Structure 1
Amino acid sequence: MTPKPWQRLNPATWLWPLPAIVAWVLCWTLFRTVWEQGLALPWSLALASALGVVLSLWGVSWWRRTLIAVGFPVSLALTLGLLGGSAVPAWAWLLPLGLLLLVYPVNAWRDAPLFPTPLNALTELPTLAPLPAGAHVLDAGCGLGHGLQALRLAYPQAQLHGIEWSWPLRALCALRCPWARVRQGDIWRADWSAYDMVYLFQRPESMARATAKAHAELRPGAWLVSLDFEATPHICTASLRTPGGKMVWLYQAPLSVPAGENP
């Protein structure tokens, strides 16, 4: 299949490690530019490291994003070490780590990494889970808003909501999706009872927690929708395959399980 023009321009689709190399080159370019313009060395380091953290969103997995984010400060440390010392104070090396933790808080690591939902992944969803106009739909863990954009394409008349723990990602999501109500918060503490549909793109390890919460809070008739990961042992109401080959699993409350299984 020939890549579309927008796919060729998306660094997340480039052959690894090209996104990392491009990100590191951009960080070094920024660092050299601002340092040569007279910016103090620690702040030049901080600015270039901040760019690395932003560009880490190009990575499609946690370890790739981490490599992109730490590549510049680590390479700078090695370079200064080879030159026989460093003019950077010890505290300055904490800045890249602090920026990384700001975007990816530790207590969010148990949830899914920043895996974007393909734009056309949910277009067939209304055929299996029709919703009335004005229905409230939640993207639990909305990241940069890819899931919200896919939900808007599927349910243009719905009222879309997003919850994201990382406040920088929440801010960027709100800018990208001004038509949705996006707030910073913990998806596991939020009340799901007000929503007609809750959409998730989590990890297999967190699906049991998600279905337990849906079983306890979703009102009868509401939907839990999971991209890629099935919520076993619950019996799915329906499923569909996206144009990209991913599976979408649908569960209508009250969620049911096979005889002899605990919900």
Structure 2
Amino acid sequence: MKIVSLPTETAQPAVFGPSSLKKPLIILFGSMLAAGLLGVLLPWSLTLQQVIWLQGVIAALISLQLFHLPIWQGVIYLLFLPLLLWAVIALDLSATWYLAGFVGLVLVYGSVYRTRVPLFLSSQRATNRLVQLLPQDHSFKMIDLGSGCGGLICRLAKMLPYGVYHGVEMALLPCWISKLRGVLSGQHCQFQWESIWQQDLSSYDVVYAYLSPVPMARLWEKICQEMRPGSLFISNTFAVPEVAPDQSIPLDDLSGAVLYIWRL
């Protein structure tokens, strides 16, 4: 396996708190202020819908040009308030539903601004392939970095019950769901609400991740520093930059995912 040295990233993941919300608050309130001022200063009058769309465009430009966020986040800023306005007018729902929806979004996606990893769920085909890759005749220890709602770990624990399975997830609601699933499954699987960067990987035989392109270079450094020789690192969909995998397995599922496998 050819390993290309990568620059060490000294920046640490943001701690949960006000600082993690600074960027989205600047984008949202800055775009609202700019759209409101333009609505007043322009020589022609704008409808509420036009002001809302203007705010979305400004928010998207700020996120992409000033903060250099990924395009998908710019799309979210572009559509957030216009879609919210459409829902208010078209669906005529109680304000309680909007509050509940907002809380739900925060519980599921509130960690994205810190981790830059949206919620991805591993398919049943990924599970079936992993069963073929994992040890068949002896016990092993596996961790899923970013375990989502715990589906993969719980399925593996049922299919290969002699393994010991751990999952870590930063999104609150998926983590709570996975904890409940783990208890109800009665299998050897545990879930924690923690950052992947706080995990010591030295005791695991298999490390699995389904993250995003953003953390892969830094994660590879952690893998090389902590994992034992002979252990496996498996990444769903996202490869490590400049490091060729020992094996690539297309899953032929709806997302066109590929399992990238490195043996340390």
Give the superposition deviation at 1:62. 7.6
Contact kept in structure 2, 1:73 and 1:96, CA below 8 Å = no
Change (3 A) 1:209 1:153: farther
Find out whether 1:111 has 2:116 as its counterpart.
Answer: yes
- Pick aligned residue for 1:241 from 232, 250, 264: 250
- Structure 1, gaps ≥5 residues long: 1-60, 254-263
- Aligned residue number for residue 105 of structure 2: 100
Aligned residues: CA RMSD: 3.8
Q: Distance between the aligned counterparts of 1:64 and 1:174, measured in 2?
A: 32
Identity of aligned residues (%): 25
| Higher mean displacement: 129-138 or 110-119 | 129-138
Q: Greater share of helix residues, 1 or 2? A: 2
1:143-154 correspondence runs (5 A): 143-152=148-157
CA offset digits 1:2-24 (Å, max 9, x no partner): xxxxxxxxxxxxxxxxxxxxxxx
Residue 239 of structure 2 aligns to a residue whose secondary structure is coil
1:146-191 residue CA offsets vs partner (Å, 9 max, x unmatched): 3224533664421111101122211111222332101111112221
Report the Cα offset of residue 142 of structure 1.
Answer: 0.6
SS in 2 for 1:120: helix
Could you say which residue in structure 2 is the equivalent of 1:228?
Answer: 237
Cα contact 1:119–1:149 (8 A) shared by 2: no
- Kindly indicate whether the alpha-carbon contact (under 8 Å) linking 1:62 and 1:113 is maintained by their aligned counterparts in 2: no
Aligned partners of 1:197 and 1:223 also within 8 Å: yes
Q: CA deviation at 1:96?
A: 4.6
Q: Hey, what's the Cα distance between the residues in 2 that align with 1:210 and 1:166?
A: 19
- Tell me, yes or no, if the aligned pair for 1:227 and 1:249 is still in contact at 8 Å: yes
Write the deviation string for residues 121-143 of structure 1: whole angstroms up to 9, x where unpaired: 24234555536633110011111
The answer as to whether partners of 1:224 and 1:252 remain within 8 angstroms in 2 is yes
Aligned residues: 186
Deviation, 1:113, is: 1.5
Query: Could you say what secondary structure the match of 1:117 adopts?
Result: coil
CA deviation profile, 1:95-122 (whole Å, cap 9, x unmatched): 6544422332245553332121111224
* 1:44-55 superposed matches below 5 A: none
Q: Report what 1:162 is aligned to.
A: 167
**Which deviates further from its counterpart, 196-205 or 71-80?**
71-80
- Cα contact 2:142–2:207 (8 A) shared by 1: yes
Distance 2:78 2:122 in 1: 22
Equivalent residue letter for 1:148: I
What residue in structure 2 maps to residue 203 of structure 1?
212
User: For residue 121 of structure 1, what is the aligned residue in structure 2?
Assistant: 126
1:135 equivalenced with 2:140 (yes/no): yes
| Cα distance between partner residues in 1 of 2:176 and 2:151 | 14
Matched with 1:27 is none
Q: Determine the C-alpha separation between the residues in 1 that align with 2:214 and 2:117.
A: 9
CA gap of 1:70–1:165, structure 2 versus 1, over 3 A, is: farther
